[in-house]
Structure 1
Amino acid sequence: MAEKGSGDVKNIYLSDAVPGRIEQKLCQPCLSKDTQTVADVFCSTCDEFQCKECSNVHTTHAFLRNHKLVNAKEMKTKQVSFDMMGFDQCNEHQEALKFFCEDEKQLCCSTCAIVDHRKCHRVVEIQKIAGRFTFRSSSIQARLLKVTEKAKLVVENAKSSTEQLGQDVDAISLTIRRMQDDVNKTFEDLKVSVAKDAESFKAETLNKLTKKQSDREKLVADATKSLETIDNVHQNGTPSQQFILGHRMKKQVRELSCNVDEECQSLETVTISFDFDDTMKLPPLPISYYVPGQLTLKCSSPEDVKPITPLAPIVKLTKITCIDVKLTGDDVEEPLYSGLDFLPDGRLFAVDNKKRKCLIYNEKLEKVGSFQLSYTPQSVVAVSEEEVAITSADPCKIDFLRVSKSNDITLIRTCKVMTQYDSICMKDERNFVVGTFDDTRPVRMVSLSGEEKDFSINFPNKKYPIATSASTYIRNSDKVVLADKNEHTVYIYDVKNNTRVAVKDDQIKKPCGVAVGPSDCILVCSNGTNSIVQISQTGRVLSSYKIDMELPYSVCVSKDKSIIAVTNNLVGVTNLQLFKVE
C-alpha cells in the first residue's frame, strides 16, 4: 500500500543527498495524491513511473493491456515533466501532438492523423522516432538571438522616436513662444513707428491748417471791416463820399468774393487712420518690410460743399522730342510698344509686343539698351530704382527684370499667375493693380510674390478681349480707372464706397492707355480723336490735347509728374513722343 507523506508533487525522485544512498523513483499517480510511494514499474505508453498497486489498472482494463511495462530500476533517467507552453498541443484541435507524418513533415494529433493524413503512408508515433532525431538547438538559438537583437533595435527605435516626438512637440511650443515674442516686439516697434509717423503727419497738417485758418480769418476780418466802413459812410458820409465808397467797394467785394469762392472749393476734412494689410511679414526683416499696414492721411470734402465754379485745366502739354520707331535689320513684325513706364532716374522703359523686346531710352529718346524676350510682353511697370515687372499672357506670368545704371537688363525671377494680365501699375510697395482680358474680373490685385486677389468691387459680368480695355490705379484716393475701348467710356471706381462714375464725352473715342497725371488727374489716350484727354477724379473732362500722332495707344508719366511719354499703334508709322507738363 502507498505510504502517505509530505513531498513535492513534481519531484519523482527521493533523495536526501546523503552519500551512499540510492536514488529511488516515486510513483507519479501517488504523488498527485500527495503520497510518496516507491515506483515498481515504468509505463512507456503512459510515460510515468507507477507503484505495483497503481500499475494493476493495466491488467484490469482491456484497453491498457497493450501498454509496455518495465522494471523501474531498469530506467536510468526520466526527465522532469514541465509545461510546454502549448507547443505540444495541436493548433486546430487542441489535442496532444502524438504523431508525425513523414510524408508531409507535419506534427499530428490523433484527430489530424485520422482525418487529414489517413491517405499518407508514413504516419508514426512521435515517441518511436524521437530517438532518431538529433535536436540541433545551436542554429535555432543563433537565429533567435538575431531575431531578439533586431526586435530590441525595433523597440529602441520606437523608444527613441517617442522621445524625439516629445522633444519636437516641445520645440514647436518653444518656437511658437519665440514667434509670439517676436510678434509682440514687432507690434511694439509698430506702435512706436506709427505713432512717430502720425505725430509727423499731425505736425505737418497742423501747420497747413493753421496757415489756412489764418488766411480765412483775415478774409472774415476784411469783410467785417468793409461792412463797418459801409455802415459808417452810409450814416455819416456825404453823397460824394458814399458815391466814391460804392465804386471802390465793388472791386474790393469782387476780390473778396473770388478769394472766398476759392477757399470754399478747397474745403476739406482731414482724418488719419491705420488700416492693416491682408498679409504680414515677420522678423528678421527690417521693420519697414514687415509693418502689417499703412498709415494713410485722407482729405475728403464735406458732402454739403459743392464746387461753385469749374476747376481750370491743370495740365498743359508741350512737345519735347519725337522719334519714329522703324523696322531694323531682319525685323519682320511691325513694332508695337504696348507698355511704357519711366524709371525713377528718368529713363524710359518700353516693351515691344510684336518684336518681343525690352528697350531703354534716355531723355533725348536715344535707345541705350535692349533685351530679347522669349514670350510676348503686354505691359511694364517700374517697381524700384533698378527693377521692372512685365506681364505676359502666354504663359501667364509676371517677370521681374533688373535694369542697371549701365542699361544692362537681366531676368531676376518669375511669378506664375492663373490669369491673363495686360496693363499693370503699382498699388503700393508690395502689390500691383493689373488689368485682365477674357475674364469677368477686369481689374485685379497681385502681390510681388504672385498672390492674386480681387477688389471688393461689383464689376459688370463682362469679359474684355485683349487690347479692348486698360486700367490704372489712383493710390491717394483708392480709385480704380478702367477704359472701355468699344464703349468709348472711362469708368472710375471708388473702392472704399464701391461706387462707379461713367465718363462719356465726344472728346473720348476708343480710349486705350490710361495713366495718373499731376494732382492725380487721369490722362487717357483717345485713339479715335488723336488726343490726350484729361479727366478729374470726379469724372469731369478737364481738357483734350491734340497731339501730332495718329492712333495714340500707350501713355505713362514720370515719377515727378513733369514728363509724359506717348506712343501709337499705327501700322507702318510708329511714333514715340515726350511732352513736358506745364
Structure 2
Amino acid sequence: MATAGLRDSNRDTAGDFIGECSVTQSCEPCMKTNVSKTATVFCKDCDEFLCDACKNPHTVYKAGKHDIVKCKDTKSVSVGVDMKGLDICQEHGREIDFFCNDHSKLCCSKCVLTHRKCDRMDEIANAFGQKRPDLQEVKQSIIKLQSEADAIIENCKHAESGLNDSIAKISSEIDTMRDRLIKIFEDAKQKLLSEAKQFKTSEVRRIGNKLDETSNVKDEINKEISMCCSVLDRGTPTQKYIYAMKIKKKLNTIESNLNKQHSIDISSSMTVSFPREITTLLEMEDNFLKLNCDGNKTVETSRIILPSQPWPLSLELLVSVDLHKTGDDDGEPSITGLDFLPDGRLVAVDNKNKKCIILNERLQRLGTPYKFKAHPHSVVCVSHDALCVTFGGSVCIFSLSTDNTIRLAREMITTSKFDSICCISPSQMVASTYDDPRPARVLSVDGVESDFHQLEFGNKTYEYLESKCTYVQSKNMLVLTDRLAHTVYVYDTVKGTSRVFTNEKIQEPRGACVGPGDTVLVCSTANNSIVRLGVDGDLMCTYPVDMKYPESMCVSKDGTRLAVSNTAKGARKLNVYKMSPAMS
C-alpha cells in the first residue's frame, strides 16, 4: 500500500545516482507560474517548498507564523500519512496519480486508458499546485458532522434510557393513580377548606394592611382639607402663595400612596370547581387506561386517554401588576419574553431596560434583576437552573441559582437573527427569525444551527416583530404567526404538511405558546384577546384579557397558570391567570 501523501509522491522530481537516491524539490510558487526552480527551504507551518527568491515574500506577505528550514532538514518533517487505502484505485489496485476533470474522478495509470479521450486529465501534482484544496474547511465540516452525530447518539441513549424507565414506572404509576383516585375525594374537602381558611387569613391580613394605610392617607387628606379651607378663607395673600407652593409636593406624595394602594389586588370571594376530566373518566369505565406509544418519536408511560377534542378551558385572573418606570429604568418596562421555571417561578425579560427579572406567584421580584449589555428579545427555561435568552445575532445561556442569582454561562454568536424561542427537547430549541428567508430554525444548546429542510415556508422574509413561533412537541408541530397577514401557520415537521388559520378573531397575532391538551394559545393583539387553536382542528375559543395589545405569554409546566404581558404605552401590565377545565 502506498503510504506517502499526494504532496510527497507528486511534488518531487527524482534523479538516481549510483549508490544512493537523491530527491530535489521544486519551488511551489514558481510552479504556479510554469517556472521550474529548485527549492532551497521548506516552510513547516505552510507545508510549502520555496526557492531563495520566494522565501522573503512568503514570510512578509503571507499571514501567520513561518518556521523556515533548509531542504536538507526536511527529512525530519513528516510529509506523508498512512492513507488507509484512500490513495489506491479501488477498481485496479494501483496508486492514484491523476484526476479527470471531465468526470470529476481520481484515476490510476490504468484508469487513464479508459479516460484517454477526456480533454482535461491532470496529474495530481499539477492539479494540487494550481488549486490547493482548503483542508481546514473540510476539517471544520467533519467536526460539525461529528457534533451532530454525537447529538444523535446522545438522543438515542436518552430514548433507550427513557424506555427502560417507562417500563419500570408503569406498574408503580398505575398503583399510585389507583390509590389516589380512591383517596382523593376523602381528602379533597378537608384540604380545600384548609386552603380556603389559610387564604382567607392571608387576604384578611392584606385587606387590613391596605385599609390601615388608606385610612392614614385619608387622615392626611382631611388635615390638608381643613388647612386649605382656613388659608383660603382667612389667609393673607402671602400665606396663600406659600401654602399653594408647598402643598404641591405633599399632594404628589398622597397621590403616590393612593396609587400604591390601588395596585394591591385583594379578593372578596372564593369558589370551587370540579374538573371535566373526572366525569369523563367515570363515563369511560374500564377503557380509560391505555398504553400510548409513538415509535417514531417518543414512548410515554401509561396515561389516561381523554377524547381527542381538547376540553373547554376557563381563565380566572389571579394577579395583575402595572409596569411603571422605576428609579434605575431607562423607560417604561417592555416585557417581550416570558417563561415559567419548573418550580413555578416566572422569568421575564425587559427589552427596554435590558433586564432579566425573576418573579414569584404574586409577581413580586426575587433577588436582583440581571442587567444585559444588549436588548433581549425572548427567553426560554431549558432546565430547572438554566435560561436561554435571544439578542438578535446572538444567544446566551445563563445559570440560575436557588437564591435567584443569574450568571452568564456562555454566549453563542449566531448566523441568523433570532426573536422568540422555545424548547423542542432538552438539547434543542426552535426560534423564529427576522431578516432571514428561513422564518424558523433549530438551535442546539451548543450553538449548532440547522433548518427544517422538509418544510416549504415560501419566499417571505419577516422583519423584527412580524413573526413569532412555538412548538408542540407531542405532535411535532411548528407554529408560526404572521402579524401583518393576520394568519397562523401550523407545520407538521415529520410529514412536511401545513395548515393555515385565518379568522376575524385572529388579528395581528403575536406571541404563541402551547396550551393544555396540546392546543396552541395565540395573542390576538388587535382584538385584545387570546385565541385557542387545535392543531388538528379549527379555532376553538377566544378569551378577552383586561389589557391592551397583548404580546407575550407562557404557560406553567403543570398547565395551570398563564402569564401575559402587553405593549400598550402608558398602560403596560403583567397578568397571571388560573387555567382550569370549564364546567359543561
| Amino acid in structure 1 at the alignment position of 2:164 | K
Distance of aligned partners of 1:202 and 1:438 in 2 relative to their CA distance in 1, 3 Å threshold: same
Distance 2:302 2:496 in 1: 17
Question: For each residue in 1:448-467, what CA deviation from the matched residue of structure 2 results, as whole angstroms up to 9, or x when unmatched?
Answer: 11111111211121011111
| Amino acid in structure 2 at the alignment position of 1:322 | S
**What is the aligned partner in structure 2 of residue 579 from structure 1?**
577
**What is the aligned partner in structure 1 of residue 76 from structure 2?**
158
Distance 2:404 2:378 in 1: 19
**What is the aligned partner in structure 1 of residue 457 from structure 2?**
459
**What is the aligned partner in structure 2 of residue 273 from structure 1?**
295
**What is the aligned partner in structure 1 of residue 116 from structure 2?**
none
Distance of aligned partners of 1:357 and 1:187 in 2 relative to their CA distance in 1, 3 Å threshold: closer
How far has the Cα of 1:331 moved from its partner?
3.5
Distance 1:187 1:343 in 2: 23
Distance of aligned partners of 1:545 and 1:367 in 2 relative to their CA distance in 1, 3 Å threshold: same
Asked if the contact 1:517/1:557 (under 8 Å) is kept, the reply is: yes
Distance 1:271 1:409 in 2: 39
Matched, 1:196 2:218: no
Distance 1:314 1:495 in 2: 27
Query: How large is the RMSD of aligned CA atoms in angstroms?
Result: 4.4
Secondary structure of 1:400's partner? strand
| Amino acid in structure 1 at the alignment position of 2:559 | K
Distance 2:414 2:511 in 1: 23
| Amino acid in structure 1 at the alignment position of 2:402 | K
| Amino acid in structure 1 at the alignment position of 2:385 | E
Secondary structure of 1:417's partner? strand
Distance of aligned partners of 1:158 and 1:435 in 2 relative to their CA distance in 1, 3 Å threshold: same
TM-score normalized with structure 1 length: 0.52
**What is the aligned partner in structure 2 of residue 520 from structure 1?**
518
List runs of 5+ in structure 2 lacking aligned partners: 1-68, 86-149, 176-279
**What is the aligned partner in structure 2 of residue 537 from structure 1?**
535
Distance 1:187 1:566 in 2: 33
Asked if the contact 1:379/1:391 (under 8 Å) is kept, the reply is: yes
Structure 1 residue runs of 4 or more that deviate by more than 6 Å after TM superposition: 185-192, 201-207, 258-263, 265-269, 296-299
**What is the aligned partner in structure 2 of residue 111 from structure 1?**
none
How far has the Cα of 1:440 moved from its partner?
1.6
Asked if the contact 2:455/2:496 (under 8 Å) is kept, the reply is: yes
Distance of aligned partners of 1:511 and 1:332 in 2 relative to their CA distance in 1, 3 Å threshold: same
Give the aligned length.
Answer: 345
- Aligned ranges for residues 113-512 of structure 1 at < 5 Å? 158=76, 193=161, 196-197=164-165, 199=167, 271-273=293-295, 295=299, 311=309, 313-329=311-327, 331-368=329-366, 369-393=368-392, 396-455=393-452, 456-512=454-510
Distance 1:192 1:273 in 2: 12
Distance 2:409 2:518 in 1: 31
How far has the Cα of 1:189 moved from its partner?
7.7
Distance 1:349 1:192 in 2: 32
Distance of aligned partners of 1:388 and 1:189 in 2 relative to their CA distance in 1, 3 Å threshold: closer
Question: For each residue in 1:33-54, what CA deviation from the matched residue of structure 2 results, as whole angstroms up to 9, or x when unmatched?
Answer: xxxxxxxxxxxxxxxxxxxxxx
Asked if the contact 2:509/2:522 (under 8 Å) is kept, the reply is: yes
Secondary structure of 2:517's partner? helix
Secondary structure of 1:419's partner? strand
TM-score normalized with structure 2 length: 0.52
| Amino acid in structure 1 at the alignment position of 2:541 | S
Distance of aligned partners of 1:269 and 1:483 in 2 relative to their CA distance in 1, 3 Å threshold: farther
Distance 2:317 2:545 in 1: 9
Distance 1:391 1:419 in 2: 11
| Amino acid in structure 1 at the alignment position of 2:536 | T
Distance 1:188 1:574 in 2: 45
Asked if the contact 1:336/1:352 (under 8 Å) is kept, the reply is: yes
Distance of aligned partners of 1:520 and 1:312 in 2 relative to their CA distance in 1, 3 Å threshold: closer
Q: Which has the higher contact order (CA 8 A, sep 6+)?
A: 2
Distance 1:409 1:319 in 2: 29
How far has the Cα of 1:468 moved from its partner?
1.1
Distance 1:357 1:554 in 2: 16
**What is the aligned partner in structure 2 of residue 567 from structure 1?**
565
**What is the aligned partner in structure 1 of residue 132 from structure 2?**
none
Asked if the contact 2:340/2:554 (under 8 Å) is kept, the reply is: yes
Distance of aligned partners of 1:507 and 1:269 in 2 relative to their CA distance in 1, 3 Å threshold: farther
List runs of 5+ in structure 1 lacking aligned partners: 1-149, 170-181, 208-257, 276-293
Question: For each residue in 1:471-520, what CA deviation from the matched residue of structure 2 results, as whole angstroms up to 9, or x when unmatched?
Answer: 00000010001111111111111111111111122221111110101111
Distance 2:439 2:154 in 1: 37
Distance of aligned partners of 1:478 and 1:333 in 2 relative to their CA distance in 1, 3 Å threshold: same
Query: What is the percent sequence identity of the aligned residues?
Result: 33
How far has the Cα of 1:295 moved from its partner?
5.0
Larger radius of gyration: 1
Distance of aligned partners of 1:427 and 1:443 in 2 relative to their CA distance in 1, 3 Å threshold: same
Distance 1:547 1:333 in 2: 24
Distance 1:296 1:545 in 2: 32
Distance 2:447 2:408 in 1: 16
Distance 1:260 1:563 in 2: 26
